[in-house]
Structure 1
Amino acid sequence: MSETTPDTVPDRAPTPPTRASAPDPRVPPARTHGERLRGPRPYLWLAGSVLMLVLPFYLDRFWLQAGLFAMAAAIGAIGINLLTGATGQLSMGHGFFLAVGAYGYCVLAGEPSSENGHRLTGLGLPTWLAAVLAVALAGLAGGIFSPIAARLRGAYLGIATLALIFIGQHVLFNAGPLTGGFNGRAVPPLSVFGLTFDDSELVVAAVPFGSSEKLWYVALAALVVSGVFARGVLRGRPGRALNAIRDHRIAAGVMGVPVARYRAGVFVLSSMYAGLAGVLLALVFQRTVPEYFGMALSLEYLAMIVIGGLGTVAGAVVGAAFVSLLPQVLTHYSESLPLVSAPGTGGIAPGEASRYLYGAAVVAVVLFMPGGLTRLKKSGEKK
């Protein structure tokens, strides 16, 4: 019988690495806090934030109002991007919910008065409370329509939401006591903590602050909160469920995703975003006009998310800035641009020229850059 010594013990085969210990080459390693700060992105965000905060001290009223329109449009575009970009539900009635927010604020915050031959209804609530309730009212309108939105998809849902525009236009033009009819109604200025956001002059650092300067910070805060919340939704479990519904509705239902409930919920959320955008637009315009909340407005919002990028907050903001600022830029520089001139002077009106341009941009994006303008940044980072 032979002795077994440590030297004669047979070598063991090496233990294969477990699945947990083997790094997946497809997943980039997590970056530390210091590595994140080494890149240019945090500093670009910081510079952009500081720039947005100081712009009211340097821009004139025209550009401030253009920026306010862009921020309000960005909030509404984020809402429709949650619905159409992330969930795949086509909506052509976004302008209806903007009108609910705008006119809801006017009715809730306004005082009973006579204007343009109409005896206007008003509840006289505090304006900050009226703004919150107007957003909730837009969400309620979306909730009433959500059972239909939960059961329809594609072109059928688009046609159903298009009916909201026709219904809304009829109500806006004919419900005189609520809307003021064809000429609309004045918008009560917002007042928060004793500060009224009207044209009463407030001097800050030797710069006179009127309504545009004051509203700038309200709109900026609303945009930041709306963007952060939507980003959290898209990056969390609800966002994964919405993307699963968009990519394959039946498979999402098999995996346990309550498809109808998510579709109804995102429709309500999108309507609330539109209501908030409507309140901001009313405060900037200082007068609501039914004609503004027509089919063209809803198509513009669809153009925003297609041009900027479907399913992302950044895409909604970029597309909204492009579509809303383009008419303002063409109007401001119409005398220096070829073929563009004031209406009635023989050239193309700035509004028409802007529609031609972002219509062409939609075609170019669909054909050559399906991810939208935000895809340019991602492709540049990969290179």
Structure 2
Amino acid sequence: MVWAAVTVVAVAIPFYLEGFWLQTGLFAMSAAVGAIGINLLTGSTGQLSMGHAFFLAVGAYGYVYFADPGQDGLLGLGLPAPLAAVLAVLTAGLAGGLFSPIAGRLKGAYLGIATIALIFLGQHLLFNAEPVTGGYNGRAVPPMELFGLTFADTPELVLLNVPFGALERLWFLGLVLLLGAAVFARGVLRGRPGRAMNTIRDHEIAAGVMGVPVARYRAGVFVLSSMYAGLAGVMLALVFQRTVPEYFGVLLSLDYLAMIVIGGLGSVGGAILGAVFVSMLPQLLTRYSDALPMIAEPGSGGVSPAEAARILYGAAVVTVVLFLPGGLMGLAARLRARRPPSSSTDPSSPDPRS
């Protein structure tokens, strides 16, 4: 019943909420897909990655390059949008595969330091490979076209007297992609690969003694995490409608680490909850900055909404580490455990054992 209610609400949202909330929700969906990917890597396998933003950039710019025919000095292949999205995700996986030999042999802080190099390399390429990336100004994102439906404001589409523009159409696409990503990750974690990943995280030596190919699993999970990041980058590009190099920096990777810590390491639901919290908080602070104390407009010299958001979920990370090791999902599990069990029999009826 709970899942049915959630489904009904999710489907009904585009018919009632304005564009701001739809855009905020779509940002949260793309962040959730990326958070699921890094949770497979960090939360379930114990590999620290600081380069998640690099693979988001590969997905976003890969989609634009494959889908845009190219003009005004910019290069592009002009492929159908669905094929371009698939190729962008595969390209992100290929980039992860090229780095996977390093990921399979390093762990902990050493892997984190190595992945930071990906961020610096990516920023250099995004700003200087102008024929592909558009340089500092970025590139416009071609709209998605699927089964004859264009996910843009035109052509006009009206359902139940509600105009369905780009955000309304992308809302349903985002729901489908998030659901598919969550179901696949849940299947991985509940199957044999998930048990092997958790064993590597908790007892690496024992995993090797039991016959688990540790280096191969680490490399494979890194590739899978990169593909999730690539899909999140494609979704992010479709919502933003323009790729901007500055967005894909170290701070974005830190945001994703904050998502999985706040939501709960090793949990698909925790990754989604953490992504919703971290991605929506800056949007809400910006929206209601006039009514909130100590929040100033960007550029005014005070604490901007983005800075206030980072302070708040930085405090949330510290709180979770000190008092809620399982994150929000762990807190929810504790609350369910404290709930008194419901009786299936009528208290007035006699005890059947008597």
Quickly name the TM-score band, shorter chain normalised: over 0.9
Partner of 1:331: 286
Tell me the distance in 2 between the aligned counterparts of 1:150 and 1:250.
15
Partner of 2:164: 209
| Mapping 1:87-98, distance limit 5 Å | 87-98=45-56
| Cα deviation, residue 345, structure 1 | 3.8
Q: Give the SS at the match of 1:89.
A: coil
| Mapping 1:138-157, distance limit 5 Å | 138-157=92-111
Partner of 1:180: 134
| Cα deviation, residue 346, structure 1 | 4.9
Query: Quick check: 1:344 aligned with 2:299?
Result: yes
| Cα deviation, residue 74, structure 1 | 0.1
Amino acid at match of 1:217: F
Partner of 2:174: 219
Amino acid at match of 2:18: D
Give TM-score, length-normalised by structure 1. Answer: 0.87
Partner of 2:146: 192
Moved more, 242-251 or 345-354: 345-354
Query: Quick check: 1:52 aligned with 2:10?
Result: yes
Tell me the distance in 1 between the aligned counterparts of 2:242 and 2:261.
29
Task: Give CA deviations for 1:21-71 in whole Å, capped at 9, x if unaligned.
Answer: xxxxxxxxxxxxxxxxxxxxxx11111111011100011001100000000
Q: Give the SS at the match of 2:158.
A: strand
Partner of 2:65: 107
- Structure 2: unaligned runs, 5 residues or longer: 339-354
Partner of 1:244: 199
Tell me the distance in 2 between the aligned counterparts of 1:346 and 1:352.
11
Query: Quick check: 1:75 aligned with 2:33?
Result: yes
Tell me the distance in 2 between the aligned counterparts of 1:344 and 1:135.
36
Q: Give the SS at the match of 1:373.
A: helix
| Mapping 1:1-383, distance limit 5 Å | 43-114=1-72, 119-200=73-154, 201-383=156-338
| Cα deviation, residue 250, structure 1 | 1.0
Give TM-score, length-normalised by structure 2. Answer: 0.94
| Cα deviation, residue 344, structure 1 | 3.4
| Cα deviation, residue 347, structure 1 | 3.5
Amino acid at match of 1:209: F
Higher gyration radius (CA): 1
Task: Give CA deviations for 1:178-208 in whole Å, capped at 9, x if unaligned.
Answer: 0000000000000011111011131011000
- Structure 1: unaligned runs, 5 residues or longer: 1-42
Q: Give the SS at the match of 2:291.
A: coil
Task: Give CA deviations for 1:69-117 in whole Å, capped at 9, x if unaligned.
Answer: 0000000000000000000000000000000000000000001211xxx
Task: Give CA deviations for 1:208-257 in whole Å, capped at 9, x if unaligned.
Answer: 00000000011100000000000010011100000000011111010011
Q: How many residues get paired?
A: 337
Tell me the distance in 2 between the aligned counterparts of 1:66 and 1:120.
30
Q: Give the SS at the match of 1:120.
A: coil
Partner of 1:26: none
